[in-house]
């Protein structure tokens, strides 16, 4: 458009020149009328040239404005694209179940596990008990979710639906900053290595006998954990399990401490730990009872049992733990002493529990370990990808002694073996055998408290 206007102006100028200076004018003078007409025509042409120049200026200004607008629009588009690049879309990973990670630190992951057991318990024929023989159960059926919240916060909520009942297992909020983790809600209170390791990852169908006999369970409280280098320190204040807080008179309170050193020497991961626990039972709890099943949970029969011990005031206990993993091999041992403090000058028994185990993978796999607890195996050659999964054998000696200060609840010495097949991550099959040697048992066989019991059990489990 600009070039066409310039051509028009040139044409007008040329026309003006011809009009002002015709060829005949060079030869003869013109009249006043002709001069006036030429001057009038010249004025018209000048006005037309001025109008065309004005239009040209308007067009140039419009083009400049359009160029500025386009530049501003391009800048806005570039800024929007840069912002969109910074705002990463939600990512979905897979850890046995979908794990969704959003912008700013949000994440959400469904959690769950199904553990189904079946087996038999064989005792001397003179013992008639409905809990003996074949049994089975859904040991754990848990569903829940966990995740993170911007600002260093996290959460976990999980409930167990086994036994046609709903029990809240974990329900807590965490806050992490540096090596410090604060936890508020229902969670484990630092009892020991095996108790803190997930039931998805234990070497046997049931944990060592003392963990159940001494009442280890999740409790409602607040705790702090601090990790630095190869050291881990844990401390917390707890009351009872959230499922027991239905009685308004329940006023028990406990203090728990645990310290762990976990140095690594080449490919050898070691673990050394100690814990201390004190619990004031409060006014509502006036008696305590310590007992245990025969290495399986699907029976309610307890061959060792102290019965109710009255005038209970508080419990003091402490434990020691050690473990190592080296390639396919692992070993672990724990001991725990629990003293029942009673009112007045009454006898105060101290009971003992401890176990030692060793395991070996027959395949090229290793037992996981992280942050002071055992973790599951990551199968190196899973079924479905040309492999046979992970195969592991384990052996354990487990002792529980409930005899002290005149209280005779019995002793239980368990000699155990297990075979574990993990075909793929998050799926396991377990088979275990236990020979249990009882002394001073609460259930008599032909008038004697000294005899043996056999327990064979299998488990299928899936977790995510």
pLDDT the model gives residue 457: 98
pLDDT digits (tens, 9 = 90+) for 315-364: 999 999 999 999 999 999 999 999 999 999 999 999 999 999 999 999 99
Instruction: Please tell me the distance from the alpha carbon of residue 300 to that of residue 291, in angstroms, as a whole number.
Output: 11
Do 389 and 418 fall within a single domain?
yes
pLDDT the model gives residue 388: 97
Do 167 and 191 fall within a single domain?
yes
Do 144 and 244 fall within a single domain?
yes
Contact 311, 349 (CB under 8 A): no
pLDDT the model gives residue 12: 43
Do 218 and 255 fall within a single domain?
yes
pLDDT at position 84 over 80? no
Tokens, residue 378:
């990551």
pLDDT the model gives residue 27: 46
pTM (two decimals): 0.81
pLDDT digits (tens, 9 = 90+) for 231-241: 999 999 999 99
- In percent, the amount of the chain with pLDDT more than 70 equals 90
pLDDT at position 13 over 80? no
Do 53 and 112 fall within a single domain?
no
Beta strand 268-280 pairing with 253-261: antiparallel
Torsion, CA 4, CA 6, CA 11, CA 15, rounded to 10: 140
Do 133 and 265 fall within a single domain?
yes
Contact 399, 410 (CB under 8 A): no
Q: Specify the number of domains making up the chain.
A: 2
What's the chain's length in residues? 464
The label of the residue with tokens 């434990």 reads 319
Do 82 and 127 fall within a single domain?
no
CA atoms within a 13 Å half-sphere pointing along the CA-CB vector of 297: 19
Q: Is 343 exposed, middle or buried (0-12, 13-18, 19+ CB in 10 A)?
A: exposed
Secondary structure in 3-state letters for the chain? CHHHHHHHHHHHHHHHHHHHCCHHHHCCCCCHHHHHHHHHHHHHHHHHHHHHHHHHHHHHHHHHHHHHHHHHHHHHHHHHHHHHHHCCCCEEEECCCEEEECHHHCEEEEEEEEEEEEEEEECCCCCCCCCCEEEEEEEEEEEEEEEEECCCEEEEEEEECHHHCCEEEEEEEEEEECCEEEEEEEECCCCCHHHHCCCCCCCCCCCCHHHHHCCCCCEEEEEEEEEECCEEEEEEEECCCHHHCCCCCCCCEEEEEEEEECCEECCEEEEEEEEEEEEECCCCCCEECCEECCCCCCCCCCCEECCCEECEEEEEEEEEEEEEEECCEEEEEEEEEEEEEECCCCCCCEEEEEEEEEEEECCCCCCEEECCEEECCCCCCCCCCCCCCEEEEEEEEEEEEEEECCEEEEEEEEEEEEEEEECCCCEEEEEEEEEEEEECCCCCECCECCEEEEEEEEEEEEEC
pLDDT at position 432 over 50? yes
Beta strand 427-439 pairing with 451-463: antiparallel
Do 61 and 110 fall within a single domain?
no
pLDDT digits (tens, 9 = 90+) for 164-221: 889 999 999 999 999 999 999 999 999 999 999 999 999 999 999 999 999 999 999 9
Nearest alpha-carbon partner for 452 in 461, 443, 463, 464: 443
Q: Single out the residue in 60, 86, 112 at which a domain terminates.
A: 86
pLDDT mean across residues, the chain = 90
Q: Single out the residue in 63, 86, 109 at which a domain terminates.
A: 86
Q: Give residue 16's pLDDT band: very low, low, confident or very high (50, 70, 90).
A: very low
Do 366 and 449 fall within a single domain?
yes
CATH of the domain at 334: 2.40.160.10
Question: What is the domain range of residue 74?
Answer: 2-86
pLDDT the model gives residue 45: 82
pLDDT digits (tens, 9 = 90+) for 105-126: 899 999 999 999 999 999 999 9
Q: Single out the residue in 40, 62, 86 at which a domain terminates.
A: 86
pLDDT at position 61 over 50? yes
All residues at 6 or more sequence positions from 278 whose CB lies less than 8 Å from its CB, including other chains: 254, 255, 256, 314, 315, 316, 317
Instruction: Please tell me the distance from the alpha carbon of residue 446 to that of residue 201, in angstroms, as a whole number.
Output: 39
Do 348 and 437 fall within a single domain?
yes
From residue 19, alpha-carbon distances to 16, 24, 40, 312 in Å are 5, 11, 11, 129
Do 242 and 347 fall within a single domain?
yes
Do 202 and 272 fall within a single domain?
yes
């Amino acid at each position: 458009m600009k070039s066409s206007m310039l051509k028009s102006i040139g044409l007008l100028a040329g026309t003006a020149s011809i009009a002002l200076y015709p060829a005949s004018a060079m030869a003869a003078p013109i009249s006043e009328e002709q001069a006036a007409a030429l001057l009038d025509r010249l004025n018209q042409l000048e006005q037309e040239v001025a109008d065309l120049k004005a239009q040209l200026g308007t067009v140039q200004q419009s083009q400049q404005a359009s160029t500025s607008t386009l530049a501003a629009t391009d800048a806005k588009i570039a800024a929007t694209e840069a912002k969109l690049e910074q705002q990463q879309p939600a990512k979905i990973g897979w850890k046995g179940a979908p794990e969704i990670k959003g912008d700013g630190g949000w994440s959400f992951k469904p959690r769950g596990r199904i553990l189904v057991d079946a087996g038999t318990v064989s005792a001397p024929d003179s013992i008639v008990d409905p809990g003996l023989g074949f049994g089975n159960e859904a040991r754990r059926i848990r569903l829940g979710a966990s995740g993170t919240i911007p600002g260093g916060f996290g959460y976990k909520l999980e409930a167990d639906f086994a036994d046609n009942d709903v029990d809240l297992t974990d329900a807590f909020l965490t806050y992490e900053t540096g090596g410090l983790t604060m936890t508020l809600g229902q969670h484990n209170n630092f009892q020991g290595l095996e108790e803190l390791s997930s039931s998805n990852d234990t070497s046997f169908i049931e944990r060592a006998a003392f963990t159940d006999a001494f009442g280890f369970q999740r409790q409602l409280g607040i705790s702090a954990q601090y990790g630095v280098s190869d050291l881990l320190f844990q401390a917390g204040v707890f009351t009872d399990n959230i499922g027991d807080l239905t009685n308004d008179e329940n006023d028990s309170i406990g203090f728990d401490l645990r310290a762990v050193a976990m140095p690594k020497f080449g490919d050898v991961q070691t673990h050394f730990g100690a814990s201390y626990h004190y619990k004031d039972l409060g006014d509502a709890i006036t008696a305590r009872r310590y007992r245990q099943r025969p290495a399986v949970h699907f029976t309610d029969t307890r061959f060792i049992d102290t019965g109710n011990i009255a005038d209970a005031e508080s419990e003091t206990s402490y434990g020691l733990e050690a473990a190592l993993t080296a390639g396919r091999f692992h070993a672990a041992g724990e001991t725990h002493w629990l003293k029942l403090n009673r009112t007045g000058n009454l006898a105060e028994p101290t009971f003992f529990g401890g176990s030692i185990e060793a395991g070996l993978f027959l395949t090229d796999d290793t037992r996981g370990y992280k942050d002071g607890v055992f973790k599951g195996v990551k199968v190196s050659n899973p079924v479905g990808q040309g492999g046979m999964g992970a195969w592991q054998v384990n052996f354990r000696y487990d002792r529980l002694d409930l005899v002290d200060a005149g209280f005779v609840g019995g002793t239980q010495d368990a000699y155990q073996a297990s075979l574990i097949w993990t075909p793929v991550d998050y799926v396991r099959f377990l088979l275990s055998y236990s020979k249990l040697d009882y002394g001073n048992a609460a259930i008599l066989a032909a008038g004697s408290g000294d005899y043996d019991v056999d327990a064979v059990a299998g488990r299928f489990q899936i977790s995510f």
